[in-house]
Amino acid sequence: MGGARQRAYLEAIGITAWVARDRAVEAGEEIGAEPVPDPVAADWPQLQAQVAGCARCELSENRTQTVFGVGDPAADWMIVGEAPGAEEDRQGEPFVGRAGQLLNAILRAVGLRREQVFIANILKCRPPQNRDPKSEEVEQCMPYLQRQVELVRPKLIVALGRVAAQNLLGSSEAIGRMRGRVHVFGAAEIPVIVTYHPAYLLRSPLEKRKVWQDMQMALSVAGQVP
Ligand code: URA
């Protein structure tokens, strides 16, 4: 196919900026491609768009969609989990499966509705077979969560489970040792309370009592005396 005909054909199937393979690098400049956006200065809609289009790690290749987070973007409480599971990947919302039902019940027990808090995860994309996040995935994804925290400016963060707690706090301590004291996150030193992940509570219901204690501590840190 000659140059003009080929271009017409490619345009007809929706490829409007065709260039030869060896010029592909220059093509970005020709069609005015944006540089990879930096979450650092993004506002909320920009951050949502950046996350939706993110291809910083290989998890982007197999996701159905990204899971940005849900709730009140000006919430006093921010809840941080690990990563989307199968149902979250399907629905595009964090904590919508069985663990999510339990999280909603935990929040209700301290007088909070799901809509009143902001719920996010360390990772915005589902790891295959729900494996633990890899450190390079956390490294690529963390700027999004950092910016979310800066924009929400919550009174406190509740970290759900070991993966959330260790990655938020840059710690390798066991979760049992991280519970029971107030940590801080980021330059703004947002208080962080560590508790067990609701998926763990589904397997070990007797531990719910400890989560109740952790939530009492969270209430007092938030200035909502239990
Ligand atoms: N577990 C998590 O850590 N996050 C979700 O969004 C769902 C399950």
22 lies in the same domain as 130: no
Same domain, 4 and 49: no
Does 20 score more than 70 pLDDT? no
Residue 91 covered by a domain: yes
Q: What angle do CA 16, 20, 24 make, to 5 degrees?
A: 85
Give the rounded distance of the alpha carbon of 163 from its chain centre.
Answer: 12
Residue 168 near residue 192 (C-beta atoms within 8 A): yes
Which residue's alpha carbon is nearest to atom 7 within ligand 1? 95
Task: Please tell me whether residues 127 and 194 are part of one structural domain.
Answer: yes
* Residues 6 or more apart whose Cβ sits within 8 Å of residue 140: 56, 57
* Residues 28 and 63 reside in one and the same domain: no
In-domain check, residue 146: yes
User: Does 106 lie in the same domain as 155?
Assistant: yes
Q: Are residues 96 and 55 in the same domain?
A: yes
State pLDDT tens for residues 27-36. Answer: 334 445 555 6
37 — pLDDT class (breaks 50, 70, 90):
confident
Distances (CA, A) of 16 to 20, 69, 135, 202, 207: 13, 34, 38, 51, 58
Residue 226 forms part of a structural domain = no
Structurally, the chain folds into a number of domains equal to 2
Q: pLDDT for 106-158, tens place per residue? A: 999 999 999 999 999 999 999 999 999 999 999 999 999 999 999 999 999 99
The pLDDT of residue 36: 64
Atom of ligand 1 nearest to the CA of 81: 3
- Cα atoms in the Cβ-side hemisphere of radius 13 Å centred on 31: 11
pLDDT confidence bin for 25, thresholds 50/70/90: very low
Looking at the fold, whether 28 and 46 belong to one and the same domain comes out as no
Q: Which atom of ligand 1 is nearest to the CA of 163?
A: 3
Give me the domain span that covers residue 17: 1-32
Same domain assignment for residues 206 and 103: yes
For ligand 1, the distance from its centroid to the CA atom of residue 94, given in whole angstroms, is 6
Ligand 1 pocket, residues with Cβ under 6 angstroms: 81-85, 88, 94-95, 99, 121, 199
Instruction: Kindly give the number of the ligand 1 atom that is closest to the alpha carbon of 82.
Output: 3
**Would you state the pLDDT for residue 23?**
38
Task: Say if residue 1's pLDDT is above 80.
Answer: no
What's the pLDDT band for 15 if we cut at 50, 70, 90? very low
For residue 69, is pLDDT > 70?
yes
Please report the pLDDT score of residue 225 as a whole number.
74
pLDDT tops 90 at residue 192: yes
Task: Report the phi/psi class of residue 181: left, alpha or beta, with left for phi > 0 and alpha for psi in -120 to 50.
Answer: beta
